[in-house]
Amino acid sequence: MPPFAHSLDRIGVAFDDDHAVANAGLLRPATLAQRLGLRALVDQHLDLGTAPGRANVGLKAMTVVAAMLAGGDSIDDAEVLRAGATQAVLGHQLRAPSTLGTFLRSFTYGHVRQLDAVSRMALQRAWAAGAGPGGAPMTMDVDSTICQVYGPAKQGAVFGYTRVRGYHPLLATRAGHGDVLHARLRGGRANSVRGAASFLREAFARVRGAGASGPPTLRADSGFTATPWCGPVAGQGSRSASRCG
């Protein structure tokens, strides 16, 4: 039968083998997370107190991360991880979207800072395993980005200067490698430079604590020169860092 003789709306896709795996590419990041002990770090440092989502925080966080890596951009998208034998690839149990929703709604700003500590320790472990720059020069890129959302009731999600409803977080990345060194969520109306000074102090402290001992360079666009936020940062030993870090 010619390939054009069938109707696409009559084609169904189903897993008929217990060993079939969807999103097999998750194997690499799952292996890395396991080697870094990421789940244990979350269990150790994230304490939701008496909040409804307090149980098994490590499993829930790992499910959220895996769903995002598989392309999910909402809680319901975590269902994609239940296809075939994907759970076996991840190496940990999964949690349902409704459970993840309860978990995420339990967060306060203090809990987000606890996750900041988890990401800092994960970076230390990754760089200690050989992924870091060591004593070589390192360039840090800092910039803001737009994260669009569609729910009008989301706290802090408003229309900013781009006329997009969402958030305007700050990101610090390692040039040439794509490593996210630090991130900070901000409301949609925040301008580029808002909170940049304290953000960069934390970012430089992170890379130093993770073992980067070489000369650092900070790279940012003109949006970060709009107001006089630059100032000295103790212990950086770099002209670039001392001017704007």
Question: Could you identify the residue written with the tokens 């994260």?
Answer: 147
Q: List, as own/partner pairs, every contact residues 192-199 make where C-beta atoms lie below 8 angstroms and the sequence separation is at least 24, other chains included.
A: 192/143, 192/144, 192/221, 192/223, 192/224, 192/226, 193/223, 193/224, 193/226, 193/227, 193/229, 195/170, 196/142, 196/170, 196/224, 196/229, 197/229, 197/230, 197/231, 199/142, 199/170, 199/172
Residue 206's domain spans which residues?
134-243
The string of pLDDT tens digits covering residues 34-60 is 999 999 999 999 999 999 999 999 999
Say if 112 falls within a structural domain: no
- The total of structural domains in the chain comes to 2
Q: Are residues 143 and 227 in the same domain?
A: yes
The string of pLDDT tens digits covering residues 168-204 is 999 999 999 989 999 999 999 998 889 999 999 999 9
Question: Could you identify the residue written with the tokens 């770099």?
Answer: 238
Q: Are residues 139 and 239 in the same domain?
A: yes
Q: Are residues 160 and 223 in the same domain?
A: yes
In the structure, what pLDDT confidence band is assigned to residue 8 with cuts at 50, 70 and 90?
Answer: low
For residue 139, which phi and psi values (nearest 5 degrees)? -105, 130
Query: What is the structure's pLDDT at 235?
Result: 43
Say if 236 falls within a structural domain: yes
What CA–CA distance (Å, rounded) separates 140 from 238?
13
Say if 118 falls within a structural domain: no
